[in-house]
Structure 1
């Protein structure tokens, strides 16, 4: 059975595993307690970030890389279009945009406002991260004017990637999404696999419930 280490961006992986119906074990990693106190996890990923996936002899890190691995190794799945399908190009773009263009720039703001000393929170890097996020977000908005999902008419793993980033921006970054984006997130997060993943990711679920009423997603 596969083992998924860590929640956070690991929620993307848990959601995909639930969508694909693949059995897995979720092993929590307490980043706030310090990964230096978790030698089992450091043996899996000495770089000390989450998520990580162990599948037999294979060990992978980086949430998007793990998603692509699961689709390639344990597919086929309708969550990834065939490379010859017209929807493959937008699928590939938004699968990666969800992390590189959205979640990572917003992380620059979040880590500054949560972890930095108070007099260093409003810094150039944090502000630039939000500017980058908003710029890339225009691609998502434009796509939603064309189709209900990132790859077109059907839900794919690209929607898992982008939805996580949008929810992260709202919950951790206090970002206010447009009505179109809120409707999109409501549509994707209504899926049963999303709900199952949230039930498995208990720390994430507790955090989300604690945020109820604080930010309107």
Structure 2
């Protein structure tokens, strides 16, 4: 049984969503990152103290994109990961990693500034720069969506899980206004049954 450590609004939703898409059994261990003291069992799994993390037998992993890649390779093949010889493989790889390295990571200084920093420091130079950089890189998503419904072409893949999380984070916590193409795209991706199940189970901590 795969154990996922995380919470509904964290990057762990990427992992749970992927597990639902693949139909793999898993259980969720909720981690409250705002609690004054962390679960000691979680700190054994990830002493760096961030989520998500998974335990799969003797395997322990952190980093949402790395976890997704591991699960698809370990329990695939799956259409969520195009074959390297597929014409869409390069786009898949680019957007799988852009969703975190190029988009979501830029939003973390914005999130911590808005919600944790003293009032006078919430609109700091670094957070403002990150918002601008996010908007620039969002043009890559917009450009791709102008020619295909999903980021790796006609079919939904793990790249869409990666980027959808980042777009939702930007809208929900960072004041990002998405254009019509991005909004329609999110409606397609988050309208999937697997996403709805992932959100419900992550919120309730239900074991699947």
TM tier, shorter chain? over 0.9
TM-score scaled to structure 1, two decimals?
Answer: 0.92
Tell me, what secondary structure is at the counterpart of 2:80?
coil
Using the TM superposition, give the Cα deviation of residue 99 of structure 1 relative to its aligned residue in structure 2, in angstroms: 0.5
Tell me, what secondary structure is at the counterpart of 1:16?
helix
**For the structure 1 residues 55 and 157, does the alpha-carbon distance in structure 2 shift closer, same or farther, using more than 3 Å as the test?**
same
| Aligned match of 1:211 | none
| Aligned match of 1:90 | 91
Using the TM superposition, give the Cα deviation of residue 201 of structure 1 relative to its aligned residue in structure 2, in angstroms: 1.1
| Aligned match of 1:165 | 166
TM-score scaled to structure 2, two decimals?
Answer: 0.95
2:32 touches 2:38 (CA, 8 Å); kept in 1? no
Residues 1:29 and 2:52 aligned together? no
| Aligned match of 2:126 | 125
Using the TM superposition, give the Cα deviation of residue 203 of structure 1 relative to its aligned residue in structure 2, in angstroms: 6.5
| Aligned match of 2:3 | 3
Distance in 2 between the 1:116 and 1:17 partners?
35
- CA RMSD across the alignment: 1.1
Distance in 2 between the 1:136 and 1:74 partners?
32
- What per-residue deviation string (whole Å, max 9, x for no partner) do you get for residues 19-50 of structure 1? 0000000000010004x431110000000000
- Paired residue total: 203
Using the TM superposition, give the Cα deviation of residue 172 of structure 1 relative to its aligned residue in structure 2, in angstroms: 1.1
Greater RCO, CA 8 A, separation 6+ = 2
Distance in 1 between the 2:190 and 2:91 partners?
20
Tell me, what secondary structure is at the counterpart of 1:101?
helix
| Aligned match of 1:101 | 102
Consecutive unaligned residues of structure 1, counting only runs of 5 or more, are: 205-217
Distance in 1 between the 2:147 and 2:108 partners?
28
Residues 1:69 and 2:44 aligned together? no
Distance in 2 between the 1:90 and 1:203 partners?
34
Distance in 1 between the 2:20 and 2:58 partners?
22
Using the TM superposition, give the Cα deviation of residue 111 of structure 1 relative to its aligned residue in structure 2, in angstroms: 1.0
